[in-house]
Structure 1
Amino acid sequence: MEKYIKNNNKEAEAKLRSNARLSVAPMMDWTDRHCRMFHRTISRHALLYTEMVTAPAVIHGKRAQLLDYSPQEHPVALQLGGSDPAELAQATKIAADWGYDEINLNVGCPSDRVQSGAFGAVLMKTPDLVARCVEAMIAVSPVEVTVKCRIGVDDQLAEEVLPAFLRSLSGAGVRRFTLHARKAWLQGLSPKENREIPPLDYPLVHAMKREFPDLHLSLNGGVATLAQVQMHLDAGMDGVMVGRAAYGEPMDVLGGADAALWGDGAPRSPFEVAEAMKPYIDAYLGRGGRLHQITRHMLGLFHGRPGARGWRRVLSEGATREGAGLPLYDRALAEVTRGL
C-alpha cells in the first residue's frame, strides 16, 4: 500500500506540474472560493491558489470557513503563512483532510501585518528557518509542499541571495518554487507599491532555471497577457503565475489558455462563462449567500467588449441589495448581449 500511495503521489505531482504551466496567484481579499470557481469556469487546467491563511488560524480558527471549497475547483492549492515549523506542520496536517492538491508556503508577502508575525517576505532573511519549516511540512504532507518567494528583500543582492535560498530549500526537499521577480522593500513601501516600484528582474529568474534545471520554477510578477505567459515558457520557465491581470481581465489571460497551453479544445466565450456560473450562483443564493459575494469577482468578465460598462454598473449598483438574485444578473448580462 505504501508503494502504491507513493507512486500515486508521483503521478499527481506530475499532473500538477502540467497544471502549473499557468497559475493564478494567491491574492488577499480576492482569490476566495467564489473567485476560484469563476476562474475554474474559464479554465479547466490552470492551477488556482487560495488566499493566504495563517497556520495559527488553521489550528485555532473556524476551519470550515477558512478551508472549505467546491470540488470543481481542483486543481487547487492552499497557501499557508507562518514561521514556526511545528505550527506549520500541524496546519499542513489539518489542511490535508480538506484534500488540497498542494500546500504552498508564503515567503513573499511584504505587508506590515505579515512582517509583524515574522513570516512572508521577511523570511528571505532567514533561509535556515524556512528550511526547517518546509522540512516539517513535507514530513506530514500527503501532497507536494511548494514555496512562493521574492528574489530578495531590502538591500540584499538578489543574484547572491536567491540561488543560495533555492539551494537551501531544495536541500530540505522542496522541488517546486514560484519566484516573484521583484525584491520586496520591507520599510518605506506599501504592499501596493511593492507590486509596482521595485524593478522586475526577469533575466535573474530565467537564470535560476538554467542554474537549477531539476527544479520546477514558475515566474511571477508583471505578466498581463497570455502572449507574455507563452514568452516566458518559451524562454525555459516551467510555469508562469499571473495575479492582477487574471483578476481584472480574466478572459484575456485565462480565456485562451486551455487551447494554447494544453491543446484542450476551443476556449469558452465570456457569455458561455456567464451562463455556466448560473447554477453555482443559484445554489449559493439558496444557501443564504449574497449575489455580490460572487459577482464582485466577475466585473472584468467582459473587459474591452461593448456593454462591459453596463455589466459592471448593473452588478456594482444592484448586487449588494437585499434579495438581489439571478434576475438582476440577467439584466446585467443583457447589457452586453444587446450588441450581439
Structure 2
Amino acid sequence: MKKIVFTFLLLAFSFRLAAQIDYLEPVRPFSTYKGELGEYYRSVFPLLNTGFQKQPYACFVAIPSFSPEYAMSVEKRNGRCTLVSNTLSRTYWQAEKGTVKVDTKSVVISASLYQSLGAIFRLVTEQIQDLDGSSAGLDGVVYYFFSTSAKGKEQMGRKWSPAKGTLMERLVLVCQSAYMLSKGENISESTLAEEAAALLKKLQQRSNAEPDAYKKPMYVGIYQVGPRSQTLSGKQVEELAHFPDMSAEEYIAGQMIYPESLLEKNVSGYVLCEFTIDKEGVILRPHILRSTHPEFAEEALRIVKGMPKWSPALVGGKPSDSNYTLYIPFRPENYRAK
C-alpha cells in the first residue's frame, strides 16, 4: 500500500511539473547563432516561408532531427481562408547548397477553422514560459509558432517534442493535422475544426484561471529539481522531504538580497543548489550544481545555509536522510536591494 501511495505521489509531482511548463518557450534570435548552426537557421526559415504572407496570422514550422523540414501558414488569399504548406524535398542540414526544393500545397478552409487557429496562435505566442536551462534533446522535433499581436508586433515561441497529454501536445497535433490537410491528405476538416475549437476553449479557460502562471520561472535541463525519491541508502521514500509551513519559494523570496551590481545592470539568472536533509531535518553539505553567475551562487548558498529545519523524508514511517535540489531563479524585476 505504501509503495502505491509513493508511486501516486511521484506521478502527481511529475504531472504538476509537466503542467507547469505546458507553455511555449522563448525563441532565441537566429542572428545570435554562430557558425554552421547560424547559417542553417538563417537559410532554412526563409526557405520554409517561401510564398507565405510577411506578417504571420498563424504560422507553424517543424524542424525534425532526421527528416525534411516543413511549415504551414494560415492566410487569406483572394478573400478565402486558406491553409498553405511548404515541405522541403530533403533535410536541409544534410543537403548540398541549392539542391533543396520547396513543395507548396494549399487548401481552402472554413472561416471557423481559420478563426480558431488564429486565436490559438495569438494566445500561445503571448504566453511564453519563463525558463532557465534548455529543453532541447538530441533527437525529436522542435516546433516554432508565429503570430501577430493586436498591435502589429510579431510574436513567436517554440516547443521541443511536448510531453504526452499536455496542451502543447494537442497544439502540435492540431497543427500537424492542418498541415496534412493542406497537403491533400485524408484529414476531416470538420473534426479538425472541432478539436481546434476545443483546444482554444481549454487554453482560454487556463488563461482565465491562471493568467500569470507562465510568468513563473521554471528550470528544465539535465538536473532533477526537487526531492529525491530514494534515500541515500537507496530505499524508496514514502513521504518526500519538504519545507515546513510555507513553500521554499516563498521563503527564498523573503530572504533574497539581490546582488546590487547585478540588480543595477538588470542581470537575471539562476542557481541549482543540492543538499542533504538529514533525519532531523537539518541541511547538510549544500553545494552548487549550476550557476549563471558567482554572485548568484554566493547568495543562494547564504539563503540555503540559513534555512530552518525541513520535514525529512519518511521510510517505514521513520525519518531518513535524502537529497534535494533547489532551483533558485534570480529575476531583477521581482527583487530590490535590501
Structure 1 and Structure 2 fold alike (TM over 0.5) = no
Question: Greater strand percent: which structure?
Answer: 2
Structure-2-length-normalised TM-score: 0.29
Question: Greater helix percent: which structure?
Answer: 1
Larger radius of gyration: 2
